[in-house]
Amino acid sequence: MAWDSWQVCALASAFFAGLTAILAKVGVQGVDSNLATAIRTVVIVVFAWGIVAAQGSYRLLPELEGRTWIFLALSGLATGASWLFYFHALKLGPASRVAPLDKLSVPFAVVLAALLLREALTWKVALGVALIVGGALLLL
């Protein structure tokens, strides 16, 4: 099934991220970008907890370790900062330029994964990162 494939899920994530840029660009017009981010965040919280409730995953909360809580909280803070900057960028600039620059998160993630997680940085990965950076800069 598609849910068991990280590749399919990653492509679905990319599609919805692209859709997010368009929907957010329209939604942020005439409103403070931080307020728009807060509204979006509430929707995401309700949506995510709805899925957790439907699946019964909330029962696993007591099993989570302190380290897990810390890193998920830090990830949440990083996500919040990303969203605040992203919505502000969309308010100021065209979605067709903001979205490609936002995708420079991929090279950042690859480099950080190599440095912090000791993931392999092969020549193919390095070439892919270089192409992403080049593409993003070209779209400016």
pLDDT in tens, 67-109: 999 999 999 999 999 999 999 999 999 999 999 999 999 999 9
Whether 38 is in a domain gets the answer: yes
- Return the pLDDT at 83: 93
Does residue 37 surpass a pLDDT of 80? yes
Domain count, the chain: 1
Closest to 97 (Cα-Cα) out of 107, 85, 89, 87: 89
Whether 65 is in a domain gets the answer: yes
Residues 112-118 have a mean pLDDT of 95
Whether 115 is in a domain gets the answer: no
Q: How many beta carbons lie within 10 A of that of residue 23, not counting itself?
A: 13
> How is residue 80 annotated by DSSP?
H
Distance, in Å, from the CA atom of 84 to the CA atom of 35, rounded to the nearest integer, reads 9
At which residue do the structure tokens 């809580």 appear? Answer: 69
Whether 111 is in a domain gets the answer: no
- Binning pLDDT at 50, 70 and 90, where does residue 1 land? low
Output the pTM of the full model. 0.85
Distance, in Å, from the CA atom of 112 to the CA atom of 93, rounded to the nearest integer, reads 27
- Return the pLDDT at 2: 67
Residues 49-58 have a mean pLDDT of 96
Whether 39 is in a domain gets the answer: yes
Domain span including residue 46: 2-102
Whether 140 is in a domain gets the answer: no
Whether 76 is in a domain gets the answer: yes
Mean pLDDT score of the chain: 93
Encode 109-128: b = buried (16+ Cβ within 10 Å), e = exposed.
Answer: ebeeebeeeeeeeeeebeee
Whether 117 is in a domain gets the answer: no
